[in-house]
């Protein structure tokens, strides 16, 4: 029997959502966004894919992103116990992550999940998240799930325009040189661009870092993860990166990764959404604005390392936002060599997303968060973190917000 997973805001706005699901999506300059959340703890099925969590999506073309935390809560693990989660939509739209979690309070016992698809349908459909594990029943859990669907257009003159390209993946030489995994051609204009891939260390006897990037001139974002050697728990992970960039003429963006050891990438994705007005803000520095109109995108960035305070949550970076409805994503590279428990949250007024981590093998991992909120007056999107006893830091921090024309709560069912 299916059960409905509701947050307090979902119940209050149910009539609005039912109206939206029954009608064709309207053209808008700032996008229509559906946002659903569930903060409970769900056990992942041992064996086959099961435990499907779905969010209904109307007709049209939608960019769907799911974030969550995977955790191994068992006292021990067996080498080779893989956990997989998959986000599915119509017409074969799929993204998947595979992780080999360690156990207890150690690096890679927790993983920040980040899945994204672009899907089009002429009828209502479900964005479906399902998972499986080789571990025992009740050992691997999924928590703090966030589903976001953004209505976009891939042709014509409606706004916002979007582009997406998915590639299967390949094995790569460990030569510490960036290898291009996927490329996306974009027309002139201002774009918010996101890339992601699953990475695995193929070296048989060595831990290694894999670094991935999106780089366009001075617009650069990187994520680095530490991975154990092949066949061991902790040798696979996701990497996500994002930038905001203006093209004066048609151009191309490349998703690239490198490592000192041989490595494999799979589920390589690049997504780009065109903006009207784009503001880029260097945290602690100057900002620049180009273009006009909607959607408005405000993107803050910081490449340098920022220490995480111990004890209570403290703001690491904050992005100012005007009044209105906003969809916000944040990402960062966590360096936590001592495997101290770290928690980070993305907060916009009363809405938030939370992720916990003990770092990764050799100390680094990626964190990915998202939330949505309508501000009655000017406010901010804050990335806040805490560590048990110090020694952890964040780098390559990004907080990006896009203005929303219509924000509706999503219903998660499972």
pLDDT digits (tens, 9 = 90+) for 262-288: 999 999 999 999 999 999 999 999 999
pTM, full prediction: 0.93
Residue 2 confidence (pLDDT) above 80: no
What confidence score (pLDDT) does residue 107 get? Answer: 58
pLDDT at position 374 is 98
Amino acid 5: pLDDT: 60
Q: Mean pLDDT in the chain?
A: 90
CA atoms of 167 and 172, how far apart (whole Å): 15
3-state helix/strand/coil string of the chain: CCCEECCHHHHHCHHHHHHHHCCCCCCCCCCEEEEEEEEEEEECCECCCEEEEEEEECCEEEEEEEEEEEEECCCCCCCCCCEEEEEECHHHCEEEEEECCCCCCCCCCEEEEEEEEEEEECCCEEEEEEEEECCCCCCEEEEEEEEEEEEEECCCCCCCEEEEEEEEEEEECCCCCCEEEEEEEECCEEEEEEEEEEEEECCCCCCEEEEEEEEECCEEEEEEEEECCCCCCCCEEEEEEEEEEEECCCEEEEEEEEECCCEEEEEEEEEEEEECEEEEEECCCCEEEEECCCCEEEEEEECCCEECCECCCEEEEEEEECCEEEEEEEEEEEECCCCCCEEEEEEECCEEEEEEECCCHHHEEEEEEEEEEEECCCEEEEEEEEECCCCCEEEEEEEEEEEECEEEECCEEC
Above 90 in pLDDT, residue 155? yes
- Nearest 5°: phi and psi at 23? -125, 155
Mean pLDDT of 162-189: 97
**CA separation for the pair 404, 216 (Å, rounded):** 26
**Domain extent at residue 219:** 4-413
Mean pLDDT for 52-63 is 96
Q: From 234, 230, 202, 199, select the one nearest 359 (Cα to Cα).
A: 234
Whole-angstrom distance, CA of residue 196 vs CA of residue 164:
12
The pLDDT assigned to 147 comes to 98
Identify the band that residue 116 occupies on the pLDDT scale cut at 50, 70 and 90.
very high
Provide the pLDDT for residue 172. 97
Residues of the chain above pLDDT 90, percent: 75
Residue 346 has pLDDT above 50, yes or no: yes
Q: Say what the pLDDT of residue 108 is.
A: 67
Domain count across the chain = 1
- Asked if residues 93 and 118 have their Cβ atoms less than 8 Å apart, the reply is yes
Does the pLDDT of residue 345 top 90, yes or no?
Answer: yes
**What's the per-residue H, E or C state across 184-235?**
EEECCEEEEEEEEEEEEECCCCCCEEEEEEEEECCEEEEEEEEECCCCCCCC
What number is the average pLDDT over the span 221-229? 91
Q: Is the dihedral of CA 272, 413, 48, 41 positive or negative?
A: positive
Lowest mean pLDDT among 44-53, 280-289, 302-311, 367-376: 44-53
The answer to whether the CB of 95 falls within 8 A of the CB of 86 is yes
């Amino acid at each position: 029997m299916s059960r409905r997973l509701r947050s307090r805001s979902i119940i209050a706005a149910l009539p609005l959502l039912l109206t939206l699901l029954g009608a064709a999506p309207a053209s808008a300059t700032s996008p229509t966004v559906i946002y659903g959340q569930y903060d409970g703890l769900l056990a992942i099925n041992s064996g086959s894919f099961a435990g499907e969590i779905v969010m209904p999506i109307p007709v049209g073309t939608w960019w769907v992103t799911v974030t969550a935390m995977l955790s191994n809560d068992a006292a021990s693990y067996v080498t080779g116990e893989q956990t997989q989660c998959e986000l599915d939509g119509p017409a074969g739209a799929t993204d998947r992550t595979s992780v080999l979690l360690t156990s207890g309070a150690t690096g890679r016992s927790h993983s920040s999940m980040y899945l994204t698809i672009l899907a089009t349908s002429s009828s209502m459909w479900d964005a479906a998240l399902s998972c499986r594990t080789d571990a025992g029943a009740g050992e691997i859990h999924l928590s703090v799930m966030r589903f976001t669907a953004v209505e976009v257009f891939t042709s014509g003159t409606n706004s916002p325009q979007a582009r997406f390209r998915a590639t299967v993946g390949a094995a790569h030489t460990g030569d510490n040189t960036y290898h291009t995994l996927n490329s996306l051609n974009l027309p002139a204009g201002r774009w918010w661009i996101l890339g992601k891939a699953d990475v695995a260390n193929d070296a048989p006897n060595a831990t290694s870092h894999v670094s991935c990037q999106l780089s366009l001139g001075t617009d650069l974002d990187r994520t680095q993860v530490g991975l154990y050697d092949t066949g061991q728990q902790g040798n696979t992970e996701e990497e996500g990166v994002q930038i905001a960039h203006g093209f004066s003429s048609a151009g191309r963006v490349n998703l690239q990764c490198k490592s000192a050891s041989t490595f494999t990438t799979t589920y390589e994705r690049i997504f780009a959404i065109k903006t009207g007005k784009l503001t880029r803000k260097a945290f602690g520095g100057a900002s620049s604005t180009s273009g006009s109109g909607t959607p408005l995108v405000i993107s803050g960035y910081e490449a340098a390392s920022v220490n995480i305070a111990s004890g209570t949550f403290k703001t690491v970076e904050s992005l100012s936002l005007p009044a209105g409805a906003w969809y916000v994503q944040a990402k960062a590279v966590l360096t936590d060599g001592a495997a101290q428990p770290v928690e980070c949250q993305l907060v916009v007024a009363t809405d938030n997303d939370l992720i916990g981590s003990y770092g990764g093998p050799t100390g680094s991992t990626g964190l990915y968060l998202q939330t949505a909120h309508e501000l009655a007056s000017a406010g901010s999107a804050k990335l806040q973190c805490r560590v048990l006893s110090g020694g952890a830091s964040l780098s390559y921090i990004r907080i990006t917000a896009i203005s929303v024309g219509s924000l509706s709560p999503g219903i998660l069912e499972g």
